[in-house]
């Protein structure tokens, strides 16, 4: 199933962990609708601006999968409102981050560990918060600070 012109449901539900552990990571119809909104408001504008494939490293995660991998209990990934993007290059990730920050309507945008990857969400339930954060490690604890 295509969520948008350049993004498929398979791309946003793919999980080696789920496959290895027999977890059904398919979204319900409401979560699928959220993924369609996310694809059209976030993914497609990025894809069209950069005019090249954009790699989703993590997309939809059912609650069972999210818990198993240690995801946040209130993660927007579990309702189809968040994706993680990783082009495999910090400079490219930073360029995408800046494009999102300066041009798109998003709920939350996180620079994960000096642009290792980018987390971006689109809230289909209410107005976008436009929260911009940096995730950093302090010892073994991840902290989120306001992006400068």
The tens-digit pLDDT sequence of the chain (148 residues) is 999 999 999 999 999 999 999 999 999 999 999 999 999 999 999 999 999 999 999 999 999 999 999 999 999 999 999 999 999 999 999 999 999 999 999 999 999 999 999 999 999 888 899 999 999 999 989 999 999 8
pTM of the model: 0.94
Domain count, the chain: 1
Instruction: With H, G, I as helix, E, B as strand and everything else as coil, classify residue 20.
Output: helix
Write the CATH number for 87.
3.30.1380.10
- Domain extent at residue 19: 2-146
Closest by CA position to 59, among listed 115, 103, 118: 118
Query: Do the Cβ atoms of 115 and 94 come closer than 8 Å?
Result: yes
Residue 8's beta-bridge partner residues?
Answer: 2
Q: For the chain, state the CA radius of gyration.
A: 14
CA distance 111 to 99: 13
């Amino acid at each position: 199933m295509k969520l948008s012109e350049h993004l498929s449901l398979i791309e946003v539900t793919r999980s080696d962990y789920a496959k290895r552990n027999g977890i059904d990571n398919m979204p319900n119809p409401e979560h699928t609708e959220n993924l369609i909104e996310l694809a059209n408001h976030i993914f497609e504008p990025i894809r069209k601006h950069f005019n090249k494939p954009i790699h989703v490293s993590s997309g939809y995660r059912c609650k069972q999968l999210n818990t198993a991998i240690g995801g946040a209990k209130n993660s927007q990934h579990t309702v189809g409102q968040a994706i993680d993007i990783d082009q495999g290059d910090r400079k490219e990730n930073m360029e995408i981050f800046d494009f999102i920050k300066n041009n798109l309507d998003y709920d939350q945008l996180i620079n994960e560990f000096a642009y290792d990857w980018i987390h971006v969400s689109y809230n289909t339930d209410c107005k976008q918060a436009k929260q911009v954060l940096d995730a950093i490690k302090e010892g073994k604890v991840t902290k989120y600070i306001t992006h400068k």
